[in-house]
Amino acid sequence: MKVIKMQQHSQSKAHKIEVTPLILGSGSFLTESDRERAYRLLDAFVALGGNTIDTARHYGIAEHIIGDWLTLRENRDKIVLLTKGGHPTQENPTHHRLSATAISEDLNTSLSALRTERVEFYALHRDDPAVGVDEIMHQLHQFVQQGKVGAIGASNWKTDRLIAANQYAQENNLTPFTFNSPGFSLATCNRPRWPGCEIANAEMLEWHKDNNIPLVAWSPQGAGFFSGKYSPDNLDNREMVDVYYNDANWKKYDRAATLAPELDVSTSQIALAYVLNQPFSSLAVIGARNEEQLREAFKASQLSLTPEQVLWLNLQQ
């Protein structure tokens, strides 16, 4: 299976680890009732060759479920963990949590829930421009120095803040962001699905290309837009209509539907392959609900699209 080599830091030395381009998302592992399904998905994901799991302090009891699964399967040394912190709480959704104290509290709580002393990747789940990048980058660098985190990144940050953070890190000999996790798919969003989210735009994609920084895409299949369940005259799902219904996306769907039979795959698989065939390292967090969806995603991850096909799907040719 194709792998992507991503940077890690250990005892102040940089090295790379192999990460599968498909990352299993745990955003639906929210409650105890999700545990059995989560175990089945985690087992199936590993059996198919996956090695990386995405989670967050904000995802209910997802970290606890993953930590329990790792303990039961005794496979922590074979799994790459990406978790996130710094998200406002459900009780106080307008209060940002990017102070050094809040970030430390979130990371330590995540490590305890995951039953591990270290995560390979740690990302800030939201941004707060009122907090200077100096405070943030010093605290994240400390996590790396302490051996609690292998690499740091951001999720839902604007490009100018990413640039400012890495410039400050470079000038002050601190650990920089080495990955970024925005929303990214073939479908163009009319607006972000959730408050505080950032969708990769042309500026951000160019930044990834110029700096060879891996992009970890959430909602890589446009929340099912390419599944065939939706059409311009089907307005039943208000969120889908508000976020994804536009003329450009219907044209992209038609092009995906044209290419899919040639490659013997579905339109959803074409959409996922689009994300994974960018001119920079790209990975996709998949929110599979069952084993069949996992198998379809892994097949899509093996597709090689030409640069011309990628541009054509995105209406650039």
In a domain, 257, yes or no: no
Which residues have CB under 8 Å from 81's CB, separation 6+?
Answer: 52, 53, 55, 66, 114, 116, 119, 120, 121
Give residue 296's Cα distance to chain centre: 18
Alpha-helix residue ranges (DSSP H) falling in the chain: 35-47, 62-73, 100-114, 133-145, 159-171, 202-211, 238-244, 247-263, 267-276, 291-301, 307-313
The reported pLDDT for the residue numbered 11 is 62
Place of tokens 């895409």: 217
CA distances from 259 to 239, 270, 312 (A): 27, 8, 10
pLDDT digit string, tens, across residues 158-191: 999 999 999 999 999 999 999 999 999 999 999 9
Residue 12: pLDDT band (50, 70, 90) is low
Amino acid in position 164: A
How many domains would you assign to the chain?
A: 1
Angle at 134 between CA 132 and CA 140, to 5 degrees: 110
Catalytic residue (one of 39, 59, 244, 245): 59
Amino acid in position 210: D
The reported pLDDT for the residue numbered 81 is 98
The reported pLDDT for the residue numbered 202 is 96
In a domain, 255, yes or no: no
- Spatial separation of the C-alpha atoms in residues 177 and 184, rounded to whole Å: 18
Residue 101: is it exposed, middle or buried by C-beta count within 10 angstroms (0-12/13-18/19+)?
exposed
Q: Which residue range is the domain that position 52 belongs to?
A: 4-246+279-303
In a domain, 254, yes or no: no
Amino acid in position 165: A
Give residue 172's Cα distance to chain centre: 28
Q: Is 245 helix (H, G, I), strand (E, B) or coil?
A: coil
Which residues have CB under 8 Å from 20's CB, separation 6+?
Answer: 1, 2, 3, 4, 49, 50, 51, 52, 301
In a domain, 299, yes or no: yes
pLDDT digit string, tens, across residues 49-103: 999 999 999 999 999 999 999 999 999 999 999 999 999 887 888 788 899 999 9
In a domain, 312, yes or no: no
In a domain, 156, yes or no: yes
230 included as an active-site residue: no
The reported pLDDT for the residue numbered 82 is 98
Alpha-carbon torsion, ordered 169, 170, 174, 180, to 10 deg? 60
In degrees rounded to 5, what are phi and psi of residue 81? -110, 135
Asked if the model's pLDDT at residue 307 lies above 90, the reply is yes
The reported pLDDT for the residue numbered 95 is 82
In degrees rounded to 5, what are phi and psi of residue 6? -120, 145
pLDDT digit string, tens, across residues 110-119: 999 999 999 9
CATH of the domain at 49: 3.20.20.100
State which H helix or E strand residue 53 sits in.
strand 52-54
Tokens of 284: 């996709």
pLDDT digit string, tens, across residues 239-290: 999 999 999 999 999 999 999 999 999 999 999 999 999 999 999 999 999 9
pLDDT digit string, tens, across residues 200-209: 999 999 999 9
In a domain, 112, yes or no: yes
Q: At what angle do helices 159-171 and 202-211 cross, to 10 degrees?
A: 30
b vs e for 129-149, b when ≥16 Cβ sit within 10 Å of the residue's Cβ?
Answer: eebebeebbbbbbbbbeeebb
